[in-house]
Amino acid sequence: MTVPKQFYGLAGAPVLVHTVRAVSQVAEVGDIVLVVPGEHCGWAEELVAEYSLDKVRGVVAGGRRRQDSVQAGLETVPPSTGLVVVHDGVRPCITPELIGRCIAVARDTGAAMAAVPVKDTLKSVSRDHRVTGTVDREPLWQAQTPQVVRADLLRQAFVEANRLGVTCTDEAALLELIGVFMTVVPGSEKNIKITRPDDLRLAEAFMDKNRADFSPCALRVGHGFDVHRLVEGRSLVLGGVSIPHSLGLLGHSDADVLTHALCDALLGAMGQGDIGRHFPDTDDKYRGINSLYLLEKVVSLASAEGFALVNADITVMAERPRLSGYIPEMEKRLAAVCRVAPEVINCKATTTEKLGFVGREEGIAAQAVVLLVQEKKGGQGVSG
Ligand code: MG
């Protein structure tokens, strides 16, 4: 038993699942009926459950010809249905937007289909492979799906096709039997039909590009938290800015607690552990080091992994001194190291109302949250 192409794996899910997901996103689409080869109905039903394809109301066994399959699907459509959208299960790169445009035009005209103008030069060729002429391609378009039709028109067309006993290769041709001509909606070259193994690779490239635009997988959030003890005889450095104060923070480095929280958030978003793993305090080379240097190392690591900083939000908790006046300078210095505009970094300071170790001025704490976006490796070269 050969596997039909709609069940081939593509970008982590069967081709049919991608197609149904795209169709499901169209608000105007109420119910979806899947028409598949009879012996694979069970498989399709399993996919519907496994991938929570909630709009699918039924799985129907198809027929020998395309039109037999469409007719089998149409027979399950309730009489009250206005428009029927017919779409090939093996066109997984369809966008909800294109389906929506076809529906909008069909509302006005009764029937509309996606198609693209023919771009290659067309030759008419004799049986012995001699060119007999060049076909004017100006009026020629290649039919795609979706093809959207008023349900009553499609039913009439089937009655006529069955009466005449003719075979039609698409719904547009069926409608022509009853004198109805579809309106063409400019489709997309990416709306390919999977017919050969190479088409799967092409579809994957198209889908990768689409996914990178909105995929949650490309966004990474990170959180950092740090505390340092306040002592005499140390300078106070926060966000790379030296702040005059009677106490300073204790630590192996300059103990810039705010910058440490930011480093930890960045490393966390990358899934790269924490600052202690990258810059151990047992290593003498980090003794007394300016923490902006550590941040620079972390930012370089992020950039090597294809991450860019979307934004960072940092809160420093200190009872004294008042920090608000230093915040613009902190944001400017951190932004420069992160190679972003200052508005990307937001710093704020709070006291803890004299409560806890911060309130007793035993230490200063900082928290940071960052959002990183990862540019996808590969997938370039496919223009969108
Ligand atoms: Mg620290």
pLDDT tens by residue, 332-359? 999 989 988 888 999 999 999 999 999 9
| Angle at CA of residue 74, ends 158 and 53, nearest 5° | 155
pLDDT surpassing 90 at residue 284: no
β pairing state of 56-61 and 32-36: parallel
Identify the pLDDT of residue 333: 93
For residues 225 and 203, what is the distance between their CA atoms, to the nearest angstrom?
43
Question: Ligand 1: distance of its center to the CA of 255 in Å?
Answer: 6
If 0-12 CB within 10 Å is exposed, 13-18 middle and 19+ buried, where does residue 39 land?
exposed
Q: Specify the pLDDT at position 380.
A: 36
Name the percent of the chain lying above pLDDT 70.
Answer: 95
Span from the CA of 341 to the centroid of ligand 1 (angstroms):
25
Using alpha carbons only, what angle is made at residue 86 by residues 185 and 102, rounded to the nearest 5 degrees? 25
CA distance 81 to 95: 23
The 10s digit of each residue's pLDDT in 31-76 is 999 999 999 999 999 999 988 898 999 999 999 999 999 999 999 9
Position 69 scores a pLDDT of: 96
Q: Is the pLDDT of residue 126 over 60?
A: yes
Report whether pLDDT(210) > 80: no
pLDDT digits (tens, 9 = 90+) for 235-252: 999 999 999 999 999 999
The per-residue pLDDT for 2 is: 76
Rounded to the nearest angstrom, the distance between the alpha carbon of 225 and the centre of ligand 1 is 9
SS3 of residue 349 by DSSP: strand
pLDDT at 306: 86
Distance 316 CA to ligand 1 centre (A): 13
Share of the chain residues as helix, strand and coil, in percent rounded to the nearest 5 = 40, 25, 35
Of 165-169, 283-287, 322-326, minimum mean pLDDT range: 283-287
Mean pLDDT, to the nearest integer, of 136-143?
94
Q: Give Cα 185 to chain centroid, integer Å.
A: 25
Band the pLDDT of 12: cuts 50, 70, 90: confident
pLDDT tier at 379, thresholds 50, 70, 90 = very low
Using CA atoms, how far apart are residues 54 and 63, in angstroms rounded to an integer?
Answer: 25
Q: Residue 246 C-alpha to ligand 1 middle, in angstroms?
A: 20
- Output the CA 231–ligand 1 centroid distance in Å: 15
Strands 345-350 and 307-317: parallel
Mean local confidence (pLDDT), 69-98: 95
The rounded Å distance from CA 296 to ligand 1 centre is: 15
Q: What is the pLDDT of residues 292-313, one digit of tens each?
A: 999 999 999 998 888 999 999 9
Between the CA of 224 and the centroid of ligand 1 the distance, in Å, is: 10
Q: What is the mean pLDDT of the chain?
A: 91
Is the pLDDT score of 209 beyond 80?
no
**Per-residue pLDDT at 214 exceeds 50:** no
- Position 234 scores a pLDDT of 96
pTM over cut 0.95: no
Q: Could you give the CA distance from residue 327 to residue 330 in angstroms, rounded to a whole number?
A: 5
Q: How far is the CA of 322 from the centre of ligand 1 (A)?
A: 21
| Residue-level pLDDT at 206 | 84
Give the Å distance between the CA of 364 and the centre of ligand 1. Answer: 10
Structure tokens at 119: 């771009």
